[in-house]
Each structure stands twice: as C-alpha cells, then as structure tokens.
Structure 1
C-alpha cells in the first residue's frame, strides 16, 4: 500500500497527442497497486492531503545498462592514460574481491546513488556469478540474489540481465579472473539462470556478454532462452574496433552480422554501445528494430568513440541510455551527451529534441528492460516519478512553458529533489529515505574491497 494516495506536481512532463507537454498544477493519484489512477492538470493549488512536488516532475529514469561493481573503480581508472584493455585489468582486480555479502553492500549503495539521481529502474548486466576461481556458492545465484535484494533495499526496480560469459575470446578458455563468470557452456548457463525468480520489484532478462565471450554455436541457446520467456536480451556490441577485427578473423563477418545470423537481433534485444558499425551493420539493426543502448559518459571515459546513434534512431531503432561503468551516475548528463556528442561529430546542432532525449531515458529505457508499463505519467502507468528542482544555480530562470529543455540541457543529478517508486517516496528533499547515509555506504563498501 503506498504511503500516500495523491501527489501535486507544480509542473509535470505529460503525454499528449501532439507530443509530450509540460502541464501545471497536476494532481497525480496513486492506487494501492502503486499505479497512477488519474492525472489532472490545472487542478489549482495543492490540496492539504496531497504531497507537494515543487519543480518539474518527470517519469522516473531508466538506467538501461549497469555494472554495479564498476562503481568501485571511480577515481582509480581515471589516473594516467591507457586503453579499454588496461582499464579491464583494473576491473578484474575489484571483481575478484567481491562475495555475496560485500556485493550486497556495494550494490545497495550504488542503487541508492542512482535513486538520488532520479533513476527508478536499473538494468543490471550481471556476469559476476560464481566464487573466485570458478567455485560455486551454495546458492548458484547468490550473487544475482544479492543484486535483487540490493535494489529492494534502495527502493528501485531492477531487471537482472543474467549474462552468459564463457570465453576469453572467440573460443579461447576463460582467463583466471574470468573463471567466476563462466558456467561452462550455454546450456549450463540457461539451467542456472532459469532458477532465478521474478518478484514485485525485479524482473529477469538475459544477456550475451559479447561475441567474444559466447561461442557462435551457443548464441542461439541464449536467444532462445530469452524468446521463450519473452524476456529482454542485451548484448555488448562493437564497443571496440579490436572486437570487430577479431570477429572478422574468426568468422569472416562483423559482430552485428554474426548476431543476426544466429537470431539474436530483434525488438526485445538491446545492443549496448554499437559504436563501430558498418553501413550493413546499421541496416541489420534498423531492419530488426533492435534497441540501442548508448552509454556516453563511459564511452568517452574509455575513449571508445562516438556511435552512430542518430542514424540508428532515424532508421527505427529505439535509443536508450545507461551509465555502464558509473564514471558518473547522472541520467541528465547521459541524455544531453547524446546530442552534444553528435554536435561535435557533425559540427551542427539540433539532432535530438529535449523530448526525444527524455523518451530515451524514460519510456524507451523502461520498455527495453521489460517494464513497458513504466516511463509515462498517465493513468495505468507505474507511479515512478523524479522531480527536478527549478531553483538551483543550474536551473533557475523562467519556469517551463512548453518544454523541458532546462532539465535536459542544464540540470544534473544534484538537482533531483524527490523520487517516487510505485507511489512510495524514496527520496525526499534530496535525502534517501531507506539508506541513511549514501556517501558513507559507498565509502565503506568500496573500502572493504581494498582492505
């Protein structure tokens, strides 16, 4: 049962036949199932029995691509130079220090940080399955269960994208750090992943780590597992040119073509990064209506490159956003980076409207994670909301009239004042209501990995 039944939003981003608009003095009713029962713009002043949301109320943000344990790397991997591959070595060291208890503590803190940033659902690309060296925990899904519990403690929704990761590269055996990622083969992965259970705040999806990490003859097993459950299927795609070169050497085709040939692409699939694509790759992705998850802050942090997001979107691929390695956790920065990166690449402006960028971070992001009933402020949708202050040093100025440009192009995670998930307020006045001290929780859980 939600703690309150009615919210009053000073301004709110609402669906409209001609495209979303900003409504004013909006009453948002919430039923006992945590769904919106009514949305009434121009309702007049806030009633005494409603919770007042001052600022711009948006649908909660969907973080469509996360590796929770990467948050521990922040401040370490930004030192000096290097490549994606040297960054990966550091990542392996942190991965090796985690067990179910320490992962629960870290992920709870990370998901609480996401909530403070306005994120109400996360897609966790989870491949840290077993104990170091490949040993099994008593519960084969202990690490995944830790992530599901962490999301509950932080008050957000999660889609656990259980990830098949079998090889160190095109048929090569896993390296020592990768042994804990592997189930041996795709059938064993499917058997273990099939034991995971959905619950109110958690849904289960699948992921192929990459064409490097899953042999070609086992890609279809993962795709079939997801299809039979009508579950989301995610895959890292062409993040690095080295992956493309190795795939061409091993199979004579690009990673995108390999995925297409094995039935992986489609409207329930999300290709993460999709940075280095050929014209044919783009055609395969657009013809199949595959989702594209861009992670701009990680892609620039790792010097990966700028992917052809505008071409993919123009061809019919829904675009979503993720914070990936958590170099920062700020959905507004991810959204505007999509436009700003395109400006740098093309030297022209105006590739994405604020509305289109909001849709990527809300409605399309949720749909890609298997939450199609979230990401909109309308009757029947999940009552997941994020409120952006309009009186900070970044956002102060005229109140929004027709658009949300200030929120998208100027606001930051620090401007999020309130967050509601399923009608329950989990952030109030910038303070998380379930995790008492989020900075301390982050500090302590990360320090425990270094001791």
Structure 2
C-alpha cells in the first residue's frame, strides 16, 4: 500500500523488526481503528512524522494470565510441605482466591496490565476462573468479576482476549469439587451465557475448559459446540500435562496420556492453545504440531512451580507453534520469559542458541517473531506483527550502551544482557502511546490501589 495513503497516525522507525526480518527506514501508518495501513521500508522520513531512532519491535502478546495471582507473587517462597510442589502451592493459592473481592481484582489487574505494558507486552489472554462469591453464590451480575478485568484492561490500555473458565470437578472422572473451588464452578449453559454477555459488550472472547481433570468429557463437548456455534473463530485454551501427576492420573482414568486423549476426543486445531503441555511423548508432540494448535509456554511460572521443561527444540522441528505467557506473574517481563525458555533448552540439551533458525540465526530475533506469531494465533486477534492489516502494536527499546550495535544485536542485548535495566522505552497499542519514556500515565494511581488490595488479601486469606 502506498505511503501516500490517508492515515490518522504514523511513525517512522530507523530500524524495525518485520515478519520477514529487520528493515531500515520504515514508515508505519494506521487508521482510526488502530489498524496498520502502511508498512514500507527504505523511505525518507516524511516531514512532521514522529521518529524513533532506536529499535522498534512488534508488540508481544501474553497468552496466559491469572491476573489475581499477581497479588501473591513472591509470597509463597517458603516450604509448606515436606515435598513442596505445584500441589502444595495450589493450596496456598486457594487461600488468596477465597479473599478476592471485585474491587481488589480490578485493582490488581490494572496494576498488572500496566506492568505488562511497561515490560513489552501489548496484549493479554486472561484465563479467568474466580467467577462467584466465596461461598459459591453468583454475584448480582453474574459477569461482575469478568467485567472488572475488562475495565482494568481498558484503563491500562492493553489489548484483551477474555477466556472465561469452565470448572466442574476436582479430578478425573468427575470427582466432586472441593469447598475451595466453589468460586470457580459453572454449568456449561452458565458459562456460555457469560461468554455471550462479554461478546455483546464488544470484548474479544473465547473459552477455557480449565483442564481435563476439571471438565468432564460431556461438558467439554457441549462447551465447544456452544462456543463455536456462536463464533466459529473463538479461541479455546486449556491447561494440560503441566505436572507428571496429572499425566499419571489421566492414564489411570482413561488409559491415555492427557494430550493424546484431548487430540483424539476434541477437534483441536489452530484456534486452540494448550497451556504448558510440558510432559509430552514423541507421538503427542508430533500430533500437537500437526494440529496447528499453539503451545502456551510460561517459563517463569513453570520454573517457579517446578513443572519441568518443555522440549521446544523438538516441537519447533516438528513444525509446532508456540507463544509465551506470564501465568502466575512471578515474573512480568517479556524478555525474561524468552531468556528462560532458551536457557531451559540449553540446560537440557547442553548446547547454545538452541531456538535460532536458518532464517533467523540470531536467537532473539527468531524467538521474538515466533512468540508474536503464536501469541496472535492464541489471542484470536489481528496482532501478528508489523504488517498491513494487523493492529498497530509496537515496542521501542531504550538505547543504553548499544552504540555501534546492529538492530539485531540490540534485541539480543535486550533479551540476554539487560543487566537489570528496563529496556522498554515506549509502547503503542492500536496506535495509542501507552508507555512513554518507560512510564505509564496511570502507574502511580494503580500502584496505590494495588497495595491496598494486596493488604486486604493478606489480612483476610
């Protein structure tokens, strides 16, 4: 499209990471909806157009978030069982979830989403399961908690895909839910009604059957039928094969491993995101790659909980798609998630630059582009990078000690050698600058509300 196209916003970048790789002297223009109408390289800077002389990256989607868990990040780092694990951590998490109020959820999420923007994320998929009051009673407005998350995203200015969670059982075979899970429970019809309400309010929405242990087969079937009957493109996210115990329990219940069972009993395709998928055998890995589904990897949370290491090298070699999420928000830093993912591969393979590719031998380039593409697919939104037709979401890296470095070397330094300095300078979402010089306009107000909400949770959990 010609650079002369009428646009409502424009930016000129000295260096920009396009889907095919780095380009110089790039003009970006977008329309009233924040959709890119022009991405052209090799042009002189037009008079009056804002210019960035550093490195411009496509905004990174965060494909897996439990926003309320930001309030207790760092507060579970003490031994609560002789063999501490995901399962003992989950018991602590339930205590915080029980004390959560609508006001607290909105305050926590607003703070979190601002932190995400300041860290280089421009969109988030919110895997939301705390629907009801602590005793399980429905709020006067059944969508109350979901709408608080929508309000938080709008206040922060981050892109949002809402994923209301279906949760019905405490274990495989439809084991009755525990008292601590009452806030999470919904019928299929109840969840579909919630999804319809959010869609009516203009929210990009999908659904999240929580896991195979929490959603019986017939409920999974009915949920998918209702979801895709109303919106054939709606994304579906599910926790799967995060823990070895989950694999063992699924084998005892069905005679199959969880990803094997899912692929053989649901129409898993490019609309799906299988979150974690840590424990796969070779058959499951190849079949998942063929399905077109995204593997939703959350390296900081998976490290924090001792989940294990996803074999990303083999999955990519099989043609698989992946993206990253911050999950429990022990870390809110897009670059650090990529670093941890690559370092996990290095530790298990005993090699370096594992996730580089023939097209992108600089590993940071390859990983950033893959995470953008996979995150966009999981989001069900047009946020797949700096090209015409996609949303104008981009990140400008600050220039610290990078004199003489190429654009690719600057990104590599951001991912692998930040030395504790915040590398993100400016962030745009749908053509609107949400972070300028590393700061979000609402950060101070959000931080005060967050501190108050966290104090309430700690007092009442």
TM-score by length of 1: 0.91
Q: Is the 8 A contact 2:277 2:310 kept in 1?
A: yes
Q: Which residue of 2 aligns with 1:72?
A: 71
Matched, 1:382 2:391: yes
Query: Which secondary structure state, in structure 1, belongs to the residue aligned with residue 425 of structure 2?
Result: strand
How many residue pairs match? The answer is 439
Equivalences for residues 262-281 of structure 1 within 5 A: 262-281=265-284
Deviation of the 1:73 alpha carbon = 1.5
Matched, 1:416 2:419: no
Give the Cα separation in 1 of the matches to 2:34 and 2:167: 36
Deviations along 1:297-349, whole A, 9 cap, x unmatched?
Answer: 11011111101222222222211110111011011111122221111001112
Deviations along 1:126-169, whole A, 9 cap, x unmatched?
Answer: 11111112101011111111111110000011100111111111
Match of 1:440 among 438, 448, 456: 448
Deviation of the 1:218 alpha carbon = 1.9
Deviation of the 1:182 alpha carbon = 0.3
Q: Which residue of 2 aligns with 1:214?
A: 215
Deviation of the 1:45 alpha carbon = 5.3
Q: Which residue of 2 aligns with 1:119?
A: 121
Q: Which residue of 2 aligns with 1:89?
A: 91
Query: Which secondary structure state, in structure 2, belongs to the residue aligned with residue 259 of structure 1?
Result: helix
Match of 2:439 among 426, 431, 434: 431
Query: Which secondary structure state, in structure 1, belongs to the residue aligned with residue 11 of structure 2?
Result: strand
Q: Which residue of 1 aligns with 2:342?
A: 339
Matched, 1:288 2:291: yes
Q: Which runs of 4+ in 1 moved over 6 A?
A: none
Equivalences for residues 241-390 of structure 1 within 5 A: 241-353=244-356, 354-371=364-381, 373-390=382-399
Deviation of the 1:397 alpha carbon = 5.4
Query: Which secondary structure state, in structure 1, belongs to the residue aligned with residue 169 of structure 2?
Result: coil
CA RMSD of aligned residues (A): 2.2
Matched, 1:128 2:130: yes
Farther off after superposition, 219-228 or 328-337? 219-228
TM-score by length of 2: 0.90
Mind listing any 5+ residue stretches in structure 1 that lack a counterpart? none
Give the Cα separation in 2 of the matches to 1:300 and 1:150: 28
Give the Cα separation in 2 of the matches to 1:441 and 1:102: 8
Deviations along 1:339-377, whole A, 9 cap, x unmatched?
Answer: 211110011123212232112331220121101x21311
Deviation of the 1:198 alpha carbon = 5.4
Q: Is the 8 A contact 1:60 1:386 kept in 2?
A: yes
Match of 1:406 among 407, 413, 429: 413
Does the C-alpha gap of structure 1 residues 429 and 179 become closer, same or farther in structure 2, counting only changes over 3 Å?
same
Give the Cα separation in 1 of the matches to 2:204 and 2:210: 19
Does the C-alpha gap of structure 1 residues 54 and 69 become closer, same or farther in structure 2, counting only changes over 3 Å?
farther
Q: Is the 8 A contact 2:132 2:183 kept in 1?
A: yes
Does the C-alpha gap of structure 1 residues 63 and 198 become closer, same or farther in structure 2, counting only changes over 3 Å?
farther
